[in-house]
Amino acid sequence: MNTLTFLPKRLLSAIIILPATSTAIAQTPQSKQVGNAVSHNWLLFACFIALAMLVAALFLLLRIQSSFNKLKEKAGIENPGIFKRYFNRFSSAQIDDLLKQKNNHLPVYITIALSLLSVGGHAQGAGSSLTDQPGILITIVLIMIPLFAGLLLMIVKAARLFRRQQDQHNIREGQQLAVHLQSMDQQVLEEQLLQRKAALDFHLTNHELSGMEAVLDKKGLISETGTEETIPFVAVKKKAIKRPDIAPELARLIIWYLCCAAFWLVLGTTAGEYLGIKFVSPDIDHTSWLSFGRLRPVHTNMVFWGWSSLAMLGLGHYIVPMVSNTRLYSIKTGWYALALINGAVITGSLCLMAGINNGGGEYREYIWPVMLLFAAGLVLTLHNFLQTIARRTTKEIYISNWYIVAAIMFALVITLVAYLPWWQDGLGETIVQGYYMHQGVGMWFMLFTLGIVYYFLPQQLNKPIYSYSLGILAFWAQIFFYTVIGTHHFVFSSIPWWLQTTAIVGSIGMIIPVCAGFTNFLLTFKGAWHKLAGSYTLPFFLTGVVFYVTGSLQGTAEAFRFTNLLWHFTDFTVAHSHLTMYGIIAFFAWGSIYALLPRLTGREAPQITIGAHFWLALIGVLFYTIPLMYGSTLRGIMWMEKRPFIESVVLMAPYWLWRAIGGSLMWVSHLFFVWNVYKMLAPSKVADINETAIQQLKAAYQSRTNGTFQQS
């Protein structure tokens, strides 16, 4: 073929010319002004533009060439199939017109066909950012003007050529169509046209599925029959589906757990918010009980043991018996555990504010008598859950129960290891601290929460978890790797080097369970993404899943030795712990609470306040963490450069302000959450129409029967 040999030739010559032109462009200004790095950058940029323009021109050329060839080829062959296509393009009105004309015996098909086939040419605007660049060297502009103009001209010419070709082609086709139509049997043509018109004019009656019968919902499938009377201000989401009835005693217990959790969330984050404000305004108060060092552990411990733990345990009391297909072993034990844990948080917080703490290890600030209450609560819960599982009526133990029971067992182990005195002298305390603080997060909160997600995510998506075996893999991998990573909080400290290395390697190993879990959750969403838009719980789960992978892998990244140089001791750690404890744990807990509470009480929270909660919390935590991570990186660099310390404090000021702003949004979102919990619990104060009617009828019936009784 002629074109086939022609094109590569063009290509080859263009490739040879390209570097030659670009170097020529580059050389001219370089000889004029030398050594300026900025202008050199501009030069490179200009060369790049020139190159891009040449490539564009070349592309255009190739396109034109191939289109012309196609047109030529088409013109040569008479395609009978094409007339069928044109025939089908007739609209109903056009057919009417045609039939009318036919009856009038007026051969005007050509004009019809022409009007049918008129296609506007489409000239493409030559988009170039050249004129937008103010600082570009004049010489470069001068060199580029002709190039640019040439390109423009080429585009215009090509477009015109293209349009003309198409115009001619269409006219030719139209004429052929007309001839074809005329040559056909006119009877057949008319029939076909009428048939086609009937087909085009066909409409559904809108009663095909329903028929003309009145609606009768024998199976109670339709819940909402009213029509929308007002413009929906908030998108209407799916209502909670009624679940098998929960024993009212169990429901009461779970509700109390969740309410206590919500209370500690608000109180704990109020403390956190106040601490964030203290970074911006350190002299806001001078009360010893509220001083920063005392209040910080109050915040962390309260959201750990008060909010997250109680929320998890409350949800656990629902999940464990539900997936065991049996009743909770002892409701009373549940109440004792709740009281003990609440007692721990109350006394612990008071102790910390009074200046009584365990010596400063993070999340180990409660003294042992306080933590004993918490541990006792866990022992009771463990016993209760194990007894429930032992009485299960299913053969298998659903994976949620693996995670939940393991989490409670491990939490007890780490608490014992952290509080028993025999291995705590000197650095022994630090080694245990590293182990404890990380297992607290990974083995208690994360493991338990994963158990919750393995139940509520499939339930909310109404489909099974994507892969059970991935869940099993994640379970064992989590135990294996997570247990050894604790000391990555003390990289470069005086604890043994091999222990630090083990921790770093373990942190990398965490990629396995995290990716297994993440993949599993995400693939459970597969094929059900459309449900996301129609649900007010799934956005919480999806956010949690995303933070699960980003937050956890960020932890892996932080464990490397170099990143420790940069980020350790800075607020990056604080940002990380909020991404995880808030982004993962809290979001999953909220999603689950919004899924569960309506099923216990039969009442749902207003969608608008749930939406407000979600968005404020999400935007808040991003405002909180992103500036903090950015500022902390700068601070780490500053420390590596050995700048005076106070400079790094001044540097952080704006990022601390952003943190306080993000924290405020988060805090407001918690107020919405509490309001939503209240709405899910409190009976409506406005009278229910149906209930009123029934009461009135009852009363009427009662008085009638009473009346007949008295009469008789």
Partner 1 sequence: MELFNNHKKLFGTALVLFLALTLLVAILPAFDNQRNNAVLPGYERLSASAAKGRQVFIANGCVACHTQQVRNVEMDRAWGARPSMAADYAPIHRTDLWRNTATLMGTERTGPDLTNIGTRQPSVDWQLMHLYNPRLLAPASIMPAYPFLFRVKKDPASGEVIVHVAEGMPEEGYEVVANPEALQLVDYLLSLKQTTVPDGKPTPAFLYQKAAAAGKADNTVSVDGAELYVANCQACHQPNGEGLKGAFPPLKGSPIVLDENPELFVDIIMNGYTGRMKEGYGAMPAVGTNNKLSAAEVTAIINHEKTSWGNSAPKVTSAEVQKIMNNIATSSKTPKP
Q: Identify residues 168-197 at the interface with partner 1 (CB under 8 A).
A: none
Q: Most distant CA pair in the chain: distance in Å?
A: 123
What does residue 364 show for φ and ψ, rounded to 5 degrees? -120, 25
Enter the tokens of residue 164: 């003309």
For position 430 contacting partner 1 by CB under 8 A, the verdict is: yes
What is the x/- site pattern for partner 1, positions 652-671, by CB under 8 A?
Answer: -x--x---------------
Residue closer to partner 1 by CB (options 410, 525) is 410
CA atoms of 622 and 666, how far apart (whole Å): 10
Contacts of 676 (CB under 8 A, 6+ apart): 594, 605, 606, 609, 610, 613
Is 283 a binding residue for partner 1 by CB under 8 A? The answer is yes
Q: How far apart are CA 152 and CA 59, in angstroms?
A: 14
Smallest separation, CB 418 to partner 1 (Å): 8
Q: Under the criterion CB under 8 A, does residue 496 sit at the interface with partner 1?
A: yes
Does position 417 interact with partner 1 (CB under 8 A)? The reply is yes
Supply 515's token pair: 């990716």
- Residue 608 is a binding residue for partner 1 (CB under 8 A): no
Site string for partner 1, 303-332 (x = CB under 8 A): ------------------------------
630 binds partner 1 (CB under 8 A): no
The answer to whether 356 contacts partner 1 (rule: CB under 8 A) is yes
357 binds partner 1 (CB under 8 A): yes
Which of 72-80, 351-359, 546-554, 609-617 is the region at the interface with partner 1 (rule: CB under 8 A)?
Answer: 351-359
Among 19, 369, 534, 707, binds partner 1 (CB under 8 A): 369
Interaction between residue 368 and partner 1 (CB under 8 A): yes
Rank residues 256 and 403 by Cβ distance to partner 1 and give the closer one. Answer: 403
Helix, strand or coil, per DSSP, at residue 37: helix
Q: What CA–CA distance (Å, rounded) separates 436 from 702?
A: 66
Rounded Cα gap, residues 49 and 260, in angstroms: 63
Q: Which is nearer to partner 1, 431 or 618 (CB)?
A: 431
Per CB under 8 A, 296 contacts partner 1: yes
Q: Quick one: which of 282, 534, 654, 707 contacts partner 1 (CB under 8 A)? A: 282
Contacts with partner 1 in 100-159 (CB under 8 A)?
Answer: none
Using CB under 8 A as the binding rule, whether residue 402 contacts partner 1 is answered as yes
Q: Buried b vs exposed e over 277-291: b needs ≥16 C-beta within 10 Å? A: bbbeeeeeeeeeebe
Tokens coding 398? 């659903």
Q: Which of residues 217-246 bind partner 1 (CB under 8 A)?
A: none
Return the H-helix or E-strand segment holding 674: helix 645-681
Among 306, 321, 361, 591, binds partner 1 (CB under 8 A): 361
Q: What amino acid is encoded at 221 in this protein?
A: L
Among 646, 686, 687, 689, binds partner 1 (CB under 8 A): 646
Q: How far apart are CA 225 and CA 196, in angstroms?
A: 40
| CB-based contacts of 520, cutoff 8 Å, min separation 6 | 465, 466, 467, 470, 471, 474
Interhelix angle 368-390/309-324, rounded to 10 degrees, is: 10
Binding of residue 393 to partner 1 (CB under 8 A)? no
484 binds partner 1, rule: CB under 8 A: yes
Member of 123, 390, 533, 693 binding partner 1 (CB under 8 A)? 390
Residue with tokens 């000197």: 426
Cα(240)–Cα(151) distance, integer angstroms: 61
The answer to whether 309 touches 341, Cβ cutoff 8 Å, is yes
Task: Give the tokens for residue 539.
Answer: 């956005």
- Residue 441 host element (H or E): none
User: Which amino acid is it at 465?
Assistant: I
Q: Which residue has the tokens 């006219």?
A: 171
Question: 30 or 483, CB closer to partner 1?
Answer: 483
- Interface residue with partner 1 among 381, 459, 487, 520 (CB under 8 A) is 487
Q: Site for partner 1 (CB under 8 A): which residue of 159, 479, 522, 674?
A: 479
Among 625, 605, 619, 613, smallest CA distance to 670 is for 613
Residue 237: DSSP 8-state: P
Q: Which region, judged by CB under 8 A, interacts with partner 1, from 13-21, 164-172, 348-356, 515-523?
A: 348-356
Stretch that binds partner 1, among 11-19, 59-67, 249-257, 398-406 (CB under 8 A): 398-406
Contact with partner 1 (CB under 8 A): which of 108, 200, 376, 409? 409
Q: Closer to partner 1 by CB, 417 or 522: give it.
A: 417
Nearer to partner 1, 148 or 482 (CB): 482
464 binds partner 1 (CB under 8 A): no
Q: Using CB under 8 A, which of the segments 20-28, 281-289, 539-547, 684-692 binds partner 1?
A: 281-289
Q: By CB under 8 A, is residue 413 in contact with partner 1?
A: yes
- Kindly state the DSSP code that residue 218 receives in the 8-state scheme: T
